Amino acid sequence: MTGTDTHRTIDTVWRIESARIIAGLTRLVGDIGMAEDLAQDALVAALEQWPKTGIPKRPGAWLMAAAKHRAIDYLRRGQRIERKHEELGRELEVDREIAEPDVHEALDDPIGDDMLRLIFICCHPVLSIEARVALTLRLVGGLTTEEIARAFLVPVPTLAQRIVRAKRTLREARVPFEVPRGDELAARLHSVLEVIYLIFNEGYSATAGNDWVRPALCEDALRLGRILAELAPAEPEVHGLVALMELQASRLRARVGPSGEPILLLDQDRTRWDRLLIQRGLAALERARALGGPPGPYALQAAIAACHATAPTPEATDWPRIVALYDALARVAPSPVVELNRAVALGMAYGPATGLEAVDRLRDAPAMRSYHLLPAVRGDLLYRLGRLDEARAEFERAASLTSNERERALMLERAAACKDGTARQDTR
């Protein structure tokens, strides 16, 4: 194996194993920042040694053991509790090759307790939403600072400082390395799901930049959601979120044309939708339902996505059911955005005049004043009613409000199409 191949293998192993290693070290040293530093030291050791000695049979166990050796040195230097030192020493009574089966078993975390704790720490409400996203992608997603900064169009130094401040905040707040219980669990789980879905949404419909979609971010969010579903199998909303992301991701290939231009839902080639992701999404939605209780916001959104995913043609879409699902969603998670989406469904189910009436009730909502999709939806409904001059003005306003170049071009194209009556319907 060449040096390049070895380094590529190390990079792959690190992306797979880093979260588990950092989680285990955080339990041992009680500091998420120090845990990451110790894990990075182990990675450096691998980069130095593996090109010479070859890839170990159990590279993840090698990295964990190397990191734990460094944890011992850290605890010694800090004169930590002798009991903790002895506990670590017992875990490291292995041969020099770090290859015996009992070591692998000792380092394994089959029920994922440490990983679950790490996810809850990264998404702790004491952090800003931006910090939660950055820390989750860094420590749980295994992305580099440069990759995260590039994905969210943030300067690398800014993103790096955000991560440093997040770790310092967690340390100063003395956030315990544990899974919360009772009411706190529900509140913290909401934060975890919010972060994962925010990451997914930024990939599904980018807020800024030159790309309308960023599939890599969707893949990162899906990976995090699937991990969480394995670690918390009894939480219906976890499966609801996974179902929603699987179903939405199934349309990614059909959402953009050859040059990256947006393709709206009703214009998409449904044969390009990923049937495997649709099947996975429907199965996850069924798991959420089987756990019982009233459906939560993510399960309801997944049910809406399932209506689209199972419709062979746009005309076959069950829009009245989608309206009913939005009614239920508005009761459990009321927001102007939910009401706007409901207005779109009303327009499709019962005609554009009905939809426009619902949209116009939202025009004075403070959260909607700078939200580009409100004039975009209004423009679409006005176009369908034949009020083309008004529709053009709404599309132009939507173009002025968005920071995404592809979205802006789409809105201006639709504004121009109002002059000759060729604008396309937009249901996303």
Residue pair 27/114 in contact (Cβ under 8 Å)? The answer is: yes
Domain membership of residue 35 (yes or no) is yes
- pLDDT reported for residue 285: 98
- pLDDT reported for residue 393: 97
| Last residue of one domain, picked from the residues 76, 110, 144 | 110
- pLDDT over threshold 50, residue 106: no
SS3 311: coil
Whole domain around residue 422: which residue ranges?
351-428
Q: Average pLDDT, whole number, for the chain?
A: 87
Domain membership of residue 381 (yes or no) is yes
DSSP one-letter string for 1-33: --HHHHHHHHHHHHHHHHHHHHHHHHHHHS-HH
Q: Which residue from 186, 145, 190 is spatially nearest to 163, judged by alpha carbons?
A: 145
Q: What would the pLDDT profile of 297-309 be if each residue is shown by its tens digit?
A: 999 999 999 999 9
pTM: 0.79
Q: What would the pLDDT profile of 122-143 be if each residue is shown by its tens digit?
A: 999 899 999 999 999 899 888 8
Domain membership of residue 159 (yes or no) is no
Q: Is the dihedral of CA 34, 39, 43, 48 positive or negative?
A: positive
Domain membership of residue 28 (yes or no) is yes
Domain membership of residue 416 (yes or no) is yes
Distance of alpha carbon 310 from alpha carbon 322, whole angstroms:
13
Domain membership of residue 138 (yes or no) is no
Q: Hey, how many other C-beta atoms are within 10 angstroms of the C-beta on 97? A: 10
- pLDDT over threshold 60, residue 109: no
Q: Band of the pLDDT at 104, cuts 50, 70, 90?
A: very low
- Residue 209, φ and ψ in degrees, nearest 5: 95, -165
- pLDDT reported for residue 84: 57
Q: Which residue from 384, 240, 249 is spatially nearest to 325, judged by alpha carbons?
A: 240
Q: What would the pLDDT profile of 11-54 be if each residue is shown by its tens digit?
A: 888 888 888 899 888 888 888 989 899 999 998 988 888 888 88
| Last residue of one domain, picked from the residues 68, 84, 110 | 110
- pLDDT over threshold 60, residue 101: no
| Last residue of one domain, picked from the residues 64, 88, 110 | 110
Domains contained in the chain, number: 2
Domain membership of residue 134 (yes or no) is no
Domain membership of residue 106 (yes or no) is yes
- The single-letter DSSP state of residue 176 is -
